[in-house]
Amino acid sequence: MVNEESIQYFGKNQKLYIDREIGNGAQGTVFLAHFNQHQFALKLYKKTPSLTFVSNLINTTATVSPSDVFIWPKQVVNLSDGNVGYLMPLIPANYTPIIAILNGKRHFSNFQTMLMWCINVIHAMKKLHQKGLCFRDLNEGGFFADIFTGDARICDCDNIAPHNVKLEILGKMKYMAPEVILKKKMPNLYSDYYSLAILLFQVLTNGHPMMGARIANYEIIDERGEYVLFAVEPVFVYHKTNTINRPIPGYHDVVIERWRLLPKHVQEAFHQVFVDGIYDDKKRLSDQDWLSVFIQFYNDLLQCDECGFEFTRANIPHCPKCGACIPKRLILSIKSSRVVLEKGKMVIVDCDVDRPLGFVIANKIDPSILGMRNTSNEIWKSQVENVKAKDYSHGQVLPFQKYMKIQFGNQEYGKIE
Ligand SMILES: [Zn+2]
């Protein structure tokens, strides 16, 4: 129930009902709010923000969100009691804070879904950057996941601003690029790339790329410790030549195990950001680079039939977990993409995340037979030598078969190997 005290006014006598608290962070408190017969999340700042900040936030509300993934600010409110904040959509109830996943309290339904979440986050960041905007305060607190589909939501979008705008927001030390911590540069596109790499590393390995053996030098990692570990003398835990900061066996076992199973090209990508790009921001992987890295990882992923463990083959004939022999998988080659066909996998061609080709499904009677439902409005044609070509229209399932050629619509030709 809404009581009288919870009524606030802003603008030209617009009435807002402030309900219960639903979140609390360093910058502000988030409440459930009712406005114009709709429910919103209302973030109220603990400290009155500067005019520059508010003016930028007003500009953000006037900008169309680059992706549905962002919980985009809708309206700035200057309340009658002097508080300042903004209204945004509520995060749907089926989304889990990524912090709960990093803490091990919740898990993605499988590794494939986790990679899809990473792809969705990278893709949203790419669209944001393409609009000339940068996120600035990228940290785990703003990220949410549908653990069953890999869909993503990103909140805390109030610090988003054009690349050249200077805001007082620097970020959370654990995610900040060294040049921002050292106050040599304000957050920009390249520091966003760095923070994104930190988030991806944490989701994949459950550890921080700069927190290895050197944490033993500190009783507690306070701000001074973070300043040294993340900015003054950052050493990547898997630096190829400087091994002083390796993860500690018995303490960082999850990182050690997960890193070992990462494909070489993913390890190299992290090395490039956290070693070559540590002080040279132009050497960091861009969002487009990360998209290619993660889509290749996702396309290569397969699952052990015996124990369900997910991994990429990289010339190993056996499951790295249970040792079971892994039969050869069908592979769909189309344009520059090679997709290991696995049940539940989205077929993404040439990093076109907005227009996946389809979704791999297993036959209900014989799950070893895989196929793809045509959800497009184009005709798919399958061709196998000495067999009459067959058409598949919208809603029909095309069963994959070795050496099959597939024409998707008018242009795209795929080949099954
Ligand atoms: Zn296995």
Was domain 4-88 assigned CATH 1.10.10.10?
no
Query: Residue 3 has what pLDDT?
Result: 60
Distance 256 CA to ligand 1 centre (A): 19
As a three-state string, the secondary structure of 113-144 is HHHHHHHHHHHHHHHHHHCCEECCCCCHHHEE
- The Å distance, Cα 264 to ligand 1 centre, comes to 21
Ligand 1 centroid, distance to 308 Cα (angstroms): 6
pTM of the model: 0.94
Ligand 1 centre to CA of 291 (Å) is 28
Spell out the domain ranges in the chain: 4-88, 96-295, 328-416
Torsion sign, CA atoms 171, 177, 178, 179: negative
Ligand 1 centroid to 320 CA: how many Å?
7
Residues at Cβ < 5 Å from ligand 1 ion = 304, 306-307, 309, 319, 321-322, 324
* Alpha-carbon gap, residue 252 to 205, rounded angstroms: 10
Residues of the chain with pLDDT under 50: 1
Ligand 1 mean position, distance from CA 363 (Å): 22
Class of domain 96-295: mainly alpha
d(CA 340, CA 302): 7
Please name the amino acid found at residue 55: S
Rounded to the nearest whole angstrom, what is the distance from the C-alpha of residue 240 to the centroid of ligand 1? 30
Neighbouring C-alpha atoms within 13 Å toward the C-beta of 230: 24
CA of 310 to the centre of ligand 1 (A): 8
What's the 290 CA to ligand 1 centre distance in angstroms? 28
Residue 106 alpha carbon to ligand 1 centre in Å: 23
Residue labelled with tokens 């409110």: 77
Using alpha carbons, select from 280, 270, 298 the residue that is nearest to residue 202. 270
Cβ neighbors of 301 (< 8 A, separation 6 or more) are: 111, 112, 115, 310, 311, 312, 340, 342, 345
**227 C-alpha to center of ligand 1: Å?**
42
Question: What distance in angstroms lies between residue 342's CA and the mean position of ligand 1's atoms?
Answer: 15
User: What's the pLDDT tens digit per position in 297-318?
Assistant: 999 999 998 999 999 987 678 9
Task: Please tell me the predicted confidence (pLDDT) of residue 1.
Answer: 47
At 229 the pLDDT is 96
Distance of CA 295 from the midpoint of ligand 1 (Å): 23
Using the mean position of ligand 1's atoms as its centre, give its distance from the Cα of residue 313 in Å: 12
For ligand 1, the distance from its centroid to the CA atom of residue 39, given in whole angstroms, is: 47
Q: How far apart are CA 256 and CA 53, in angstroms?
A: 42
How far apart CA 356 and CA 340 sit, in angstroms, is: 15
Neighbours of 316 (CB within 10 A): 10
Q: 315 C-alpha vs ligand 1 centroid, how far in Å?
A: 16
- Cβ contact 162:194 at 8 Å: no
Query: What is the Å distance from ligand 1's center to 305 Cα?
Result: 7
The pLDDT tens digits of the residues spanning 198-252 come to 999 999 999 999 999 999 999 889 999 999 999 999 999 999 999 999 999 999 9
Separation of 321 CA from ligand 1 center, angstroms?
5
